[in-house]
Amino acid sequence: MSKGMTEADFTPATAAEVRQLRDQLDAQGKKLVFTNGCFDLLHAGHVRYLADARALGDAMVVALNSDASVRALKGPDRPLNNENDRAEVLCALRAVDVVVVFGDERATSLIEIIRPHVYAKGGDYTVESLNAEERAALQSVGAEIRILPLVPGRSTTATIQKMHSPQGGKLRLAVLGSGVGSNFRAIVEAIQAGKLDAEVVAAISDQKDSGFLAIAKQAGLPAHFVDPGSNPKKLGEAAQKEIFDHLERARTDVVVLAGFMRILKEPVIGHYSGRIVNVHPSLLPKHKGAHAVQDALDAGDAEAGCTVHLVTAEIDAGAILEQGRVPILSGDTATVLHDRIKQVEHVLLPKVLNEWRERGLPVR
């Protein structure tokens, strides 16, 4: 195993060894806590999270994503540190008893082998938003699922971002939109008013004649129309790559989806993982998808709102950064309600972006 070894002979544990530990603890009526993640660049947020997780039981195993699985989750530039180094550093923490490395994107099979008593996860998840397969595995082994709050202001992504954009540098935003662009206008106005310390380095649309692009041109910002391809609903592969190239050329810090009606895939989604935000007109996780406002009315909800959240491959399911609420009034049509929601969006989105550096972004 790993604790107490010297650097030269450090090796992560095997799943079978961890299972043995679990069985020993079990026989003594003690609990093994299990958590997993990339732990690429350790910061105080990790240390505090791991200490809180360890306190849920009597020993803790950290399942560490292998280099290949970090690359698949976070893009080709990650990890910064290789899996053995990450395992060694993690294992030196007081809260960590043992580290095991796993190669799948999900920890499912490891959970099935180890059968932990407690499963801890950082608070950018809810029990509902845990991967369904992992959740099923946890339930089948009888593990108690505990979601712990994230430590605000600390994250690997925020640290990397600081390195890319040194102190004092403005946050470089690339904004994508397909529609009238009222959220984009709100961003531009917040920057002009000195309320948002950022600059728009690219405005990208899949709609040549959109209000969104007109706003960019009027404001003298770099505006790009990207031909989405022949399918009216999808964004073709060439367009995905073209958008990525625009983002890279503009040295983008954060990608903002402000009414962008197509789904981003690779290479953007992996490369900019943790740095793409979307504004959605519902109180997520309620009413995902393209008809959120009408869905809230149809459901007879008493209130609606908007959510600024991180974008992942799964639609409208990434970590929630902030939400704003509005009442639903009798006689509301979708248009009237959507306008009321947009008023809140126009304040919330620039605010979240302005806090980007300080808030530290949730990372797995």
Contact string 142-171 vs ligand GRF (x = CB under 6 A): ------------------------------
Work out which of 86, 342, 357, 364 binds ligand GRF, going by CB under 6 A: 342
Judged by CB under 6 A, the stretch of 123-131, 189-197, 275-283, 309-317 that binds ligand GRF is 275-283
Three-state SS letters, the chain: CCCCCCHHHCCCECHHHHHHHHHHHHHCCCCEEEEEECCCCCCHHHHHHHHHHHCCCCEEEEEEECHHHHHHHHCCCCCCCCHHHHHHHHHCCCCCCEEEEECCCCCHHHHHHHCCCEEEEECCCCCCCCCHHHHHHHHHCCCEEEEECCCCCCCHHHHHHHHHCCCCCCEEEEEEECCCCHHHHHHHHHHHCCCCCEEEEEEEECCCCCHHHHHHHHCCCCEEECCCCCCCCCCCHHHHHHHHHHHHHCCCCEEEECCCCCCCCCCHHHHCCCCEEEEECCCCCCCCCCCHHHHHHHCCCCEEEEEEEECCCCCCCCCEEEEEEEECCCCCCHHHHHHHHHHHHHHHHHHHHHCHHHHCCCCC
CB of 178 vs ligand GRF, minimal distance in Å:
7
Work out which of 79, 122, 181, 228 binds ligand GRF, going by CB under 6 A: 181
CB of 125 vs ligand GRF, minimal distance in Å:
22
CA distances from 55 to 42, 138, 214 (A): 19, 19, 55
253 Cβ neighbours under 8 A, 6+ residues apart: 161, 164, 165, 171, 172, 173, 275, 356
Work out which of 38, 60, 173, 258 binds ligand GRF, going by CB under 6 A: 258
280 is catalytic: yes
Give yes or no for residue 316 binding ligand GRF (CB under 6 A): no
Judged by CB under 6 A, the stretch of 59-67, 74-82, 175-183, 217-225 that binds ligand GRF is 175-183
Give yes or no for residue 86 binding ligand GRF (CB under 6 A): no
Give yes or no for residue 182 binding ligand GRF (CB under 6 A): yes
Give yes or no for residue 280 binding ligand GRF (CB under 6 A): yes
Distance CA 91, CA 23 (A): 21
Residue nearest to ligand GRF (CB): 259
Work out which of 1, 42, 51, 180 binds ligand GRF, going by CB under 6 A: 180
Work out which of 306, 326, 348, 353 binds ligand GRF, going by CB under 6 A: 306
Give yes or no for residue 205 binding ligand GRF (CB under 6 A): no
For ligand GRF, which is the closer residue by CB, 115 or 309? Answer: 309
Give yes or no for residue 183 binding ligand GRF (CB under 6 A): yes
Distance CA 34, CA 88 (A): 17
- Contact of 355 with 308, CB cutoff 8 Å: no
Work out which of 75, 116, 122, 281 binds ligand GRF, going by CB under 6 A: 281
Give yes or no for residue 83 binding ligand GRF (CB under 6 A): no
For ligand GRF, which is the closer residue by CB, 46 or 342? Answer: 342
Catalytic residue among 280, 309, 338, 346: 280
**Residue carrying structure tokens 């399942």:** 63
- Contact of 14 with 87, CB cutoff 8 Å: no
For ligand GRF, which is the closer residue by CB, 275 or 342? Answer: 342
Give yes or no for residue 305 binding ligand GRF (CB under 6 A): no
CB of 212 vs ligand GRF, minimal distance in Å:
6
For ligand GRF, which is the closer residue by CB, 150 or 268? Answer: 268
Work out which of 244, 345, 362, 364 binds ligand GRF, going by CB under 6 A: 345
Give yes or no for residue 264 binding ligand GRF (CB under 6 A): no
Catalytic residue set: 280
Kindly list the residues in this chain that would bind ligand GRF in the complex (CB under 6 A).
177, 179-184, 258-259, 279-281, 306, 342, 345
